[in-house]
Chains A and B, each alone.
Chain A
Amino acid sequence: MSDNIIEAKALSKTFGSFTAVTDLSFSIQQGDVYGFLGQNGAGKSTTIRMLLGLIYPDAGEVYIKGQLFNNQSRHLLQHIGAIIERPDMYLYLSGWDNLKMFARLSGKPIKDPRLHEVLEIVGLKGREQDKVKAYSQGMKQRLGIAIALVHNPDLLILDEPTNGLDPQGIAEMRLLIQSLSRDHGKTILISSHLLYEIEQIATRMIILHRGRKVVEGAVRQLLDPAETLMQVDILPDESIGVKLNSSEWNKHIHEISAAKLVFKMHPSQMPALNNWLVAQGAQVLQIRSSHSLEAYFLSLTNEADVKAGTV
């Protein structure tokens, strides 16, 4: 039997003349933290809504735990907990009332101790009797995760869970998601347009661009550290380029100008390169790694645009 918790087969969706998703297939397996990456408008939310039966695909199918998901098999949703875009809840009710209400709709009998348990997991214990309208955005996100988690689903779908959070909230949310995967064994689909977030959290990922899959695979394989772009800023020196071209480092050169040297290499090679540059008289101002996933993402999406003839 397949380990797939959810599987999308050839999903397509068009709204009027706008094609949101085209022929999209992927699968999420037990234990994955599956990153769903793409710019705004790439089709992430539309796809997630199709997985949850909020939007009906024009073509294609969704399978949840191997069974075809449609209007007649909505009971399969008990295997999934989700937050879609914003954690919108009944603001005039308390956190506890919201949690209890959605727990009752989850298709499983859930008792109060489980509600306390999930409140503990998401760090809302002690604030559950406050009205949700008094919650900060971060607290609403946490309550959203508690609601998604309360019936102990096999798969958590978190659509842009860091949207609207401050940097501390983003870091806390990341830790919470990592803990849900590591300590509670949850399979997670997390969508984001923030590349760094996905890189930090996901084990597998898919990149969408203009509604199409650009690439899918294990994050470690897709983000080979030997392909990291390292940028060295120096005081302008035309001779350094010449020396580099005739050195053993030339195979790593990605881009060179008088003041900026960019290498594609493993970060562990950087100290040796720095020593060599200093020995050649270069006055190094700073060294930084271009974000690996960002570079990868941009190269893939640019490539896709070129192929599609949109640039």
Chain B
Amino acid sequence: MLRLELYKIFKKPRTYISFGIVTAFALVIQLALVADGKNFIAFAMQGVSAQFDIGGNVLNGYLVTYIILQSLLLQIPLLIALVAGDVLAGEANMGTLRLLLTKPVSRSKIVLVKFTAAVCYALLLLLWLAVIALGLSILFFGTGDLVNMKSDAFVVLLKDDIMWRYIAAFMFAALAMTTVAALALLLSAFADNSIGPIMGTMGIIVVLMIFSTLDLPIFDVVKQYLFTTHMVGWKGFFDDPVPYDAIRFSAIVLVVYTILFVGATVFYFRKKDIKS
């Protein structure tokens, strides 16, 4: 049944829009940095270049990949929602949901298979992003030490100490995108067309991200439990030392949210009257 779901997803032209957008976005940044990268680096490092003498190939593939990943923070969840928000609501809109539900398959299984298919899509999209962002960046800019410029510090990671961090970061991002897929699936179960769940997922993520990034004491207690706060946990792998406790906590929060979202979807969908 999973194979059938994946077949449906990858036969739909809409699915490839995401891959196209990711490719275009990464290429635009890469080409812009090929054309004007030196000025960008000079501008970015103007605060530290007076105190530190940083040599070597600073504008390398690892840094460009990091820039691309940071820039796609909001776009990737949107692209995941584009498919995950469609898996139930899209079928309801097309009318195929009722045909599907006249088959001797449990509703829980249908939800879980659709969720798994959406996660597979998310993983493939991330893998594609890894190939395009990391692969092409290394091809265009070569490798070197990664200078991770943060608002209050900068971290230099040695060239041979970076690849595992990217692998770990992509694995963490996969977990975060699984949570996004679970949220989109939940909203998809409530709707009879895909626009609502896609926009709803994005709306929730944007609003919660604002809460997560606002430095107001009133939000401090709440924001540590918002999943959006932990979606950027992958950045921890580019710190030195790596804050494993914080990353572990973020991963647990994301897993708990994913279980809650999928559990709520199964619970609701099992009881839902199919009137569309």
Contact = CB atoms under 8 A, between A and B. Distances in A.
Contacts of A253: none
B114 to A, nearest CB: 13
Contacts of A101: 4, 7-8
Contacts of A76: 104
Given A54-B98, A89-B96, A92-B12, A106 B4 contact: no
A76 B106 CA distance: 11
Contacts of B102: 52-54, 77, 80, 82, 84
B150 interface: no
Interface string B81-105: 0000000000000111011111111
B73 interface: no
A56 B271 contact: yes
Interface residues of A, number: 34
Contacts of B100: 105
Given A92-B11, A92-B12, A107 B274 contact: no
Given A74-B105, A106-B103, A55 B7 contact: no
Contacts of B275: 15, 49, 55
Given A55-B273, A86-B95, A88-B96, A105 B103 contact: yes
B6 to A, nearest CB: 12
A54 B101 contact: yes
B20 interface: no
A205 interface: no
A206 to B, nearest CB: 21
A77 B104 CA distance: 5
A266 interface: no
Given A91-B94, A101-B7, A102-B99, A49 B104 contact: no
A84 B99 contact: yes
A74 B8 contact: no
B223 interface: no
Contacts of A83: 99
Nearest to B98: A84
A49 B274 contact: yes
A76 B103 CA distance: 9
Nearest to B273: A55
A78 interface: yes
Contacts of A288: none
A77 B273 CA distance: 17
Interface of B: 1, 4, 7-8, 11-13, 94-96, 98-107, 270-271, 273-275
10 contacts: A54-B273, A55-B273, A80-B102, A83-B99, A84-B98, A90-B8, A101-B4, A101-B7, A106-B103, A107-B103
Given A74-B105, A105-B1, 14 more contacts: A49-B274, A52-B101, A54-B101, A54-B102, A74-B104, A83-B99, A86-B95, A88-B98, A89-B99, A91-B94, A93-B11, A97-B7, A104-B4, A106-B104
Shortest 9 CB-CB contacts between residues of A and residues of B: A88-B95, A107-B104, A105-B103, A77-B104, A54-B274, A55-B273, A78-B104, A82-B102, A75-B104
